[in-house]
Amino acid sequence: MKFENAIWKDHPQNPLINPIRPDWMVADPSVLTPDKTPDGKWHLFANAIIQGIQHFVSNDGINWERVAKKLFIGIRPYVFLENGVYHLFYEKPASIRRSVIALRKSADLINWSEAVIVCKPELKWESKGPMATNGNPCLVKYDGKYRLYYAASWVFLRDCLFFEPLYIGVAESDSIEGPYIKRPEPLIGPSADPYFRNMGAGSMKVLPPVDGRAEWYAFNNGIYRDEEGHSRSEIRLLKSSDGYDWKQVEGEPLVKPENAGWKRALVYAMHVVEYNGEWRMYYNARDGWFIGKERIGMAIAELR
């Protein structure tokens, strides 16, 4: 799949998943396709603020039912299957001003092990801003090694009164459970150019080379301030030859905010999966700034 040749079309039923009271958001989806689940169904893990990490199931990846109101306290889950074991990485609060990446394991997506910390802030650039954070995990396996891409530090969105990730880094290990050794400098950070990261790096999901493809691809929702002073986020495509040095793929954003509706303000974290030759991008979006709801939708890749 040459992602440069794809356009992403929103599913007509969007948004697919709405927040459930008392929460006003459901966000950061991580998706397992039917060929990777015990029951042959679609499974999605996401987070709310009050109700923590939640579990949804679907027959078609479109109509979802919540099956676990609250698995555990945390945000930004990412599920990785290896040798019949599901490894759920997620951002876990360690204190009021510190977060870490924790790992839980399961054989059935129902019963989970106790949390083990696999990544915590220890570098200077991981502690900029009001908090020291490691979060937004994305794990890939390449050439026998594991790469844990993650976000660190926060930037304050003054019109929303909340924080978003400032940097993205990577840590590597010979074992899925660690220890993970960090590269000393971030891969992506805030910059005036490109404009769509002029406030922060946001989150990133990575696809390593497979099936003879040499390129690495990444989907990145940078955090930026637009010309009118609004905080914004949109999903862009990045490309790399080694998974470390990332360049923007020129062109329009893959998914961006609209003038009205459920993604009026910001388009956020995503997970891209392939099933039966179809590529889907699950993502969440916000319909306002200080006052707003966040919901999960999906876009499908079509070749130009």
Residue 216 is predicted with a pLDDT of: 97
pLDDT at 254 over 90: yes
pLDDT in tens, 10-61: 999 999 999 999 999 999 999 999 999 999 999 999 999 999 999 999 999 9
Please report the pLDDT score of residue 131 as a whole number.
84
CA 50 – CA 38 distance, rounded (Å) = 29
What are the pLDDT digits (tens) for 155-194?
999 999 999 999 999 999 999 999 999 999 999 999 998 8
Q: What percent of the chain is modeled with pLDDT above 90? A: 93
Query: Average pLDDT of 211-216?
Result: 85
What letter represents residue 277's amino acid? G
In whole angstroms, how far apart are CA 243 and each of 21, 56, 253? 40, 31, 21
CA distances from 6 to 120, 154, 242 (A): 36, 32, 22
Q: What is the mean pLDDT of residues 98-124?
A: 97
Instruction: Tell me which amino acid residue 8 is.
Output: W
Work out how many domains the chain is built from and give that number: 1
The whole-chain average pLDDT of the chain stands at 96
Q: What is the pLDDT of residue 70?
A: 87
Q: So what's the pLDDT on residue 276? A: 96
Alpha carbon 196 to chain centroid, angstroms: 17
Residue 262 has pLDDT above 80, yes or no: yes
Q: How many CA atoms lie within 13 A of 67 on its CB side?
A: 14
pLDDT score, position 211 = 80
Looking at residue 191, which CATH number applies to its domain? Answer: 2.115.10.20
Q: 212 pLDDT exceeds 80?
A: no
pLDDT bracket for residue 84 (50, 70, 90): very high
**CA angle centred on 84, ends 208 and 108, rounded to 5°:** 120
pLDDT band at 100 (very low <50, low <70, confident <90, very high): very high
Q: What is the mean pLDDT of residues 214-228?
A: 96
Indicate whether 76 pLDDT > 80: yes
CA atoms within 13 A on the CB side of 274: 6
pLDDT value of position 303: 82
Residue 202 belongs to domain spanning: 3-303
Is residue 304 over pLDDT 80? no
Does residue 4 carry a pLDDT above 90? yes
Q: What pLDDT digit, counting tens, does each position of 126-143 carry? A: 998 778 999 999 999 999
Looking at the chain, the whole-number percentage of residues with pLDDT higher than 70 is 100
Distance CA 249, CA 149 (A): 19
